[in-house]
Amino acid sequence: MVEKVCFTIFLCLSACLATLFPEVNGARRQPQDNKLILNGPEKLFVFGDSYADTAAYLGIGSPQPYNLWKADGEAKQYGMNFAYGGAGVFDTIEGCPNMATQINYLQQLLQQNVYTKHDLTSSVALATSVGNDYGNYHGQEEFVESITKQISVNLKRIHEMGVPKVAVTAMQPLGCLPLVAFSTGNYPNCDQNTNNITRFHNQMLKQRIDQLNYQTDGSPFVVLDLYAAFTSALNIKHDQHPGKSSFPHPLAPCCHGKCGEVDLSGKKEYGVCDDPKVAFFWDLTHPSQQGWFAVYSGLKSSLPHLFQPQQATAIV
């Protein structure tokens, strides 16, 4: 039996996989000389799963992965990436730190004076939750409600710690992931039942975020609509049928087998498609670099909401 290992985002992304805010393998970059966002944040704190990584668009140096930051004391100046591939809002079978535990790590850094409340007021946070919790459940209404409720609790906690703006991702259309499309027998189309669960999750999430913003000065919470960005990039009609797009086989993964793994002799245990640039999906669950570029193009217009004027967060 293969042991399941929980990796930080820094370790689990392959060179062929870009993320929501494109960057290569989480490598730390220096801030851009000319920020796209004037008076933008100086730090980024990231929580969640393998769909989370650093936001190059913000002009911030890439935040250090949490379990590696002590190796480079200066890296913390750009924030911290607490996300783990396979993590969920609650505990998942991979055994990764869930989102609440990841937020605990930031709380510990505050208690240790690694960061101060003043540090957090010049930051922005990104939380991703893209379906790992649903791996062992069938999306019962009560479970969806419990997940979205916990997400709202987590986001409120991040904001109350001193972070002025907190972004959270709506779930991508889970029924369009190759893993789901193949396993349900719907390939080359999406599984509509799974997408129905996803849309219900997103509706509940939006309601809770709207409520949080109504209860909080400055509307500090922002939803990044991955669902709409994915369906637009794939030209998906009626939540099921991918239409004509720049990707000839939209739901076909580029990598087959144990992507990124080699056997004891060094032989690859996977194969890669001839031209990754025409593949939307890299593996069974993650978009390719070109796929993320298409998704990011759909999200870019919503990112400035992270920098709208707001009332300052009180410092205690």
Confidence band of 68 (pLDDT split at 50, 70, 90): confident
Q: Measured between alpha carbons, how far is 237 from 144 in angstroms, rounded to an integer?
A: 24
Angle between helices 141-160 and 192-215 (to 10 degrees): 40
Q: Residue 52: its pLDDT value, please? A: 78
Active site annotation includes 53? no
Is 135 in contact with 91 (CB distance < 8 Å)? no
Q: Measured between alpha carbons, how far is 19 from 295 in angstroms, rounded to an integer?
A: 9
Active site annotation includes 50? yes
What structural domains does the chain harbor? 9-247+290-305 (3.40.50.1110)
3-state secondary structure of 270: strand
Backbone Cα Rg of the chain: 19
Is 190 in contact with 240 (CB distance < 8 Å)? yes
Q: What is the pLDDT of residues 5-14, one digit of tens each?
A: 454 443 333 2
Residue in 299, 283, 302, 279 with CA at minimum distance from that of residue 291: 279
3-state secondary structure of 94: coil
Task: Write phi, then psi, for 287 (nearest 5 degrees).
Answer: -65, 160
Confidence band of 314 (pLDDT split at 50, 70, 90): very low
Q: What is the pLDDT of residues 36-65, one digit of tens each?
A: 444 567 889 999 998 875 476 566 777 888
Which is the catalytic residue, given 49, 53, 119, 283? Answer: 283
Confidence band of 224 (pLDDT split at 50, 70, 90): very high
Active site annotation includes 241? no
Which is the catalytic residue, given 53, 123, 286, 288? Answer: 286
Residue in 166, 151, 167 with CA at minimum distance from that of residue 224: 167
Q: Output DSSP code: residue 167.
A: E
Q: pTM for this one?
A: 0.84
Contacts of 7 (CB under 8 A, 6+ apart): 84, 85, 86
- Give the count of alpha carbons within 13 A of 36, CB side only: 11
Burial of 234 (0-12, 13-18, 19+ CB in 10 A): buried
Residue in 247, 226, 242, 196 with CA at minimum distance from that of residue 303: 226
Is 51 in contact with 80 (CB distance < 8 Å)? no
Cis peptide before 178 (omega within 30 of 0): no
Is 230 in contact with 176 (CB distance < 8 Å)? yes
Alpha carbon 30 to its chain's center = 22
Q: Residue 246: its pLDDT value, please? A: 86
Q: Measured between alpha carbons, how far is 298 from 228 in angstroms, rounded to an integer?
A: 8
Is 133 in contact with 89 (CB distance < 8 Å)? yes
Which is the catalytic residue, given 50, 62, 152, 288? Answer: 50
Q: Which of 5-19, 135-149, 173-187, 246-260 has the lowest mean pLDDT?
A: 5-19
Contacts of 248 (CB under 8 A, 6+ apart): 278
Is the predicted pLDDT of residue 239 greater than 80, yes or no? Answer: no
Is the predicted pLDDT of residue 230 greater than 60, yes or no? Answer: yes
